[in-house]
């Protein structure tokens, strides 16, 4: 494990819950943080990233590091023959993402990009209903991922700056919803977007809205904010809905999955038992582990991460120019 911030603890807990994974060692630049993490999870600790890569017991690295460091760290790992699981987004620029993919292909190592929300049972069942045609002809989709993280960033945090977190909540949290929309409905052709600064003090925007045109012709919207309430139980806004000629499907991360069928008076709950806690994160990590063992691409690898990043970069360009931007134009750079 490389990078020992708040989120790394959640990932480490998911690793320890899995029979397919073992946490060998950890690294961050602050010795006290390394010691605390090592003691909590019973793993070793290294004084440098290079030491992690030289450790013969390490088969793969899990990078939970600032977005704009992913490329260099991933390419170093690939050069040492280590498989890589990088936190989302894959990188902050298209050039960096392509360099990562190329380095991993040449080294013959697996590159996996974190995309845990598509592994929730709700999203899996959502995909099943879409694939089976239960919604009829799809008309539109909408999604939102909003919380209050923007209030807590300070100049000490890399998320405060455009260099580390370009696009603000879009690249930090709504990236999950972009991946889920991609998983459910396929590639995006064209993006229009607007960003705004409502309340927070950092360099990054705190509100963003995207209009999406999928290659299938489906239209969609995505909203995200860093100024929205989070409950005392840690619940924030995270939903994805699809509207069809025969039914509408509504997925809320906390309330579950509901369907409204043509002719029905009310929505009905879709019966399914969602993962408890971070089970979806474990499922995502286990797909990575199986990809390594089976010599296959992971479900969300470099190409998928690249397409998601291209949508984000297209949104940023659209906001700058005031014009729709084709994803293919961004990918051609």
Instruction: Of 227, 220, 218, give the one whose Cα is nearest residue 195.
Output: 227
Same domain, 216 and 318: yes
Number of independent structural domains in the chain: 2
- pLDDT for the residue 276: 86
CATH number of the domain bearing residue 157: 3.30.360.10
Same domain, 208 and 95: no
Same domain, 105 and 139: no
Cα(67)–Cα(53) distance, rounded to whole angstroms?
Answer: 20
- pLDDT for the residue 333: 82
The verdict on residue 332 lying in a domain is no
The model's pTM: 0.95
Same domain, 109 and 123: no
Same domain, 58 and 182: no
Same domain, 125 and 206: yes
As averages over each run of 10 residues, the pLDDT of the chain (333 residues) reads: 96 97 97 97 97 98 96 98 98 97 98 98 97 97 96 92 91 97 98 96 94 98 96 95 98 96 96 93 98 98 98 97 98 91
The verdict on residue 264 lying in a domain is yes
Same domain, 91 and 180: no
Strand ranges in 121-280 using DSSP code E only, listed in sequence order: 138-146, 188-196, 207-214, 219-225, 237-244, 247-252, 256-261, 268-269
Same domain, 168 and 50: no
- pLDDT for the residue 183: 98
CATH number of the domain bearing residue 40: 3.40.50.720
- pLDDT for the residue 224: 98
Same domain, 89 and 148: no
CB-based contact 123:183 (threshold 8 Å): yes
Same domain, 98 and 139: no
The verdict on residue 56 lying in a domain is yes
The verdict on residue 303 lying in a domain is no
Task: Show the domain range for 46.
Answer: 6-114+285-298
Q: Report which DSSP code applies to 253.
A: T
Same domain, 209 and 188: yes
Same domain, 137 and 174: yes
The verdict on residue 333 lying in a domain is no
């Amino acid at each position: 494990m490389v990078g020992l911030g708040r989120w790394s603890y959640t990932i480490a807990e998911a690793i320890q819950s899995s029979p397919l994974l073992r946490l060998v060692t950890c690294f961050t630049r602050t010795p006290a943080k390394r010691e605390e993490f090592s003691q909590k999870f019973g793993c070793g600790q290294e004084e440098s990233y290079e030491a992690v890569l030289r450790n013969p017991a390490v088969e793969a690295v899990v990078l939970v590091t600032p977005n704009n460091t992913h490329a260099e760290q991933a390419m170093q790992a690939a050069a040492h023959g280590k498989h890589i699981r990088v936190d989302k987004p894959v990188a902050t620029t298209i050039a960096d993402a392509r360099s990562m993919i190329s380095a991993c292909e040449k080294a013959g190592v697996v590159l996996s990009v974190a995309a845990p929300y598509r592994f929730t049972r709700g999203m899996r069942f959502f995909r099943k209903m879409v694939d089976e045609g239960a919604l009829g002809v799809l008309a539109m989709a909408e999604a939102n991922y909003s919380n209050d993280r923007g209030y807590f960033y300070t100049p000490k945090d890399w998320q405060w700056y455009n260099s580390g977190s370009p696009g603000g909540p879009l690249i930090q949290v709504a990236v999950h919803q972009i991946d889920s929309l991609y998983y459910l409905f396929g590639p995006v052709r064209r993006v229009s977007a607007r960003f705004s600064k409502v309340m927070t003090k950092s360099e990054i925007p705190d509100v963003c809205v995207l209009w999406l045109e999928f290659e299938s012709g489906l239209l969609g919207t995505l909203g995200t904010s860093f100024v929205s309430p989070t409950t005392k139980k840690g619940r924030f806004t995270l939903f994805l809905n699809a509207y069809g000629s025969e039914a509408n499907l509504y997925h809320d991360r906390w309330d579950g999955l509901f369907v409204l069928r043509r002719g029905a008076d009310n929505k009905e709950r879709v019966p399914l038992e969602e993962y408890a806690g971070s089970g979806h994160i474990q499922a995502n990590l286990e797909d990575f582990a199986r990809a390594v063992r089976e010599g296959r691409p992971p479900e969300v690898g470099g190409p998928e991460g690249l397409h998601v990043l291209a949508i984000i970069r297209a949104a940023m360009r659209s906001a700058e120019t005031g014009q729709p931007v084709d994803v293919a134009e961004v990918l051609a750079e």
